[in-house]
């Protein structure tokens, strides 16, 4: 199973909005609504930010939102804050009954 | 509160073996799928294996199939990963993570344990 495709890096200024894309295939993102997103700060474990494409776990700010169109899922962070600077990973369930991750995106808050 | 604590990492030579453990607390362990997910130094996340709540369903990534074995002991609230025939490319931080249910991701992660495979 090939990794999902994410941009290596994105950046934005405080208060702005950014979107991170996650492109898969008709064997994963395109066929299931089982896309999740994770935030990882340096030296820390990943934290679930979005599950089932667009659902936020309790405690995750509503500045974080998710969506999907065809084979591409997206994570949008609005009202960017300094503490949002981190690595972000998407993941999807696949037709092989296994999950796959994206390569990760480094978000820089300018 | 939910806690996952991994142990068992360390330095091992290529071809060697290691057994990782993950002790869970703060939830009914036997109700949840569990996974091992790894991260090589400076690299992204890679799913390794998952096991169903009863242990009856198990899947592995192709990169570890035939070398790694996942297991669990629900009476001890523990998850394991037996790693044999280790390779340099298995060097990574290994996380245990709780499945959220319905293939909808992992909602709790341990702090990770570092496995280094080097001669």
Using one digit for the tens of pLDDT, what is the confidence trace for B1-16?
999 999 999 999 999 9
Q: Which DSSP symbol is given to A4?
A: B
**Rounded to an integer, what distance in angstroms lies between the CA atom of residue A77 and that of residue A94?**
26
Q: Number of CB pairs < 8 Å for A and B?
A: 61
Using one digit for the tens of pLDDT, what is the confidence trace for A8-43?
999 999 999 999 999 999 999 999 999 999 999 999
What stretch of H or E contains B69?
strand B68-73
The helix/strand/coil state of A84 is helix
| A1 pLDDT higher than 90 | no
Beta strands A72-77 and A86-93, pairing class: unpaired
Structure token digits, residue A91: 């993941």
| CB B36, CB B81: distance < 8 Å | yes
Report yes or no: B47 at the A interface, CB cutoff 8 Å: yes
Using one digit for the tens of pLDDT, what is the confidence trace for A82-106?
999 999 999 999 999 999 999 999 9
Using one digit for the tens of pLDDT, what is the confidence trace for A34-71?
999 999 999 999 999 999 999 999 999 999 999 999 99
Q: Which residues does A61 contact at the CB level (< 8 Å), separation at least 6? A: none
Which pLDDT value is given to residue B39?
A: 98
Q: Give the position of tokens 């208060």.
A: A15
Which pLDDT value is given to residue B113?
A: 98
Which pLDDT value is given to residue B103?
A: 81
Q: Which residues of A lie closer than 8 Å to B, measured between beta carbons?
A: 1, 3, 32, 34, 36, 38, 40, 45-48, 51-52, 55, 57, 89, 91, 93, 97-104
Structure token digits, residue A66: 């998710």
Cβ separation B103–A103 shorter than 8 A: no
Residues of A in contact with B45 (CB under 8 A): 38, 40, 46, 89, 91, 101, 104
Using one digit for the tens of pLDDT, what is the confidence trace for B68-114?
999 999 999 999 999 999 999 999 999 999 998 778 899 999 999 99
Going A6 to A10 to A15 to A17, the CA torsion angle's sign is negative
Which pLDDT value is given to residue B15?
A: 97
């Amino acid at each position: 199973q090939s990794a999902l495709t994410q941009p290596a890096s994105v950046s934005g200024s405080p208060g702005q909005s950014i979107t991170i894309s996650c492109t898969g295939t008709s064997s994963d993102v395109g066929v299931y609504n089982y896309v999740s997103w994770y935030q990882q700060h340096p030296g820390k474990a990943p934290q679930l930010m979005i599950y089932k494409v667009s659902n936020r776990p309790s405690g995750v700010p509503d500045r974080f939102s998710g969506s999907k169109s065809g084979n591409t899922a997206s994570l949008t962070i609005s009202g960017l804050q300094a503490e949002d600077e981190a690595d972000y990973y998407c993941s999807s369930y696949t037709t092989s009954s296994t999950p796959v991750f994206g390569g990760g995106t480094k978000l820089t808050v300018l | 509160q939910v806690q996952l604590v991994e142990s068992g990492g360390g330095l091992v030579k290529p071809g060697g073996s290691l057994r990782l453990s993950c002790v869970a607390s703060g939830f009914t362990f036997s109700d949840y799928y569990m996974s091992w997910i790894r991260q090589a130094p400076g690299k992204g996340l890679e799913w390794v294996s998952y096991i169903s709540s009863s242990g009856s369903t198990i899947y592995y990534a192709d990169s570890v199939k035939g070398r790694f074995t996942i297991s669990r002991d629900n009476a001890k609230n523990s998850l394991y990963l037996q790693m044999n025939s280790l390779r340099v490319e298995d060097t990574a931080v290994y996380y245990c993570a709780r499945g959220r249910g319905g293939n909808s991701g992992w909602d709790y992660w341990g702090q990770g344990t570092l496995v280094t495979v080097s001669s």
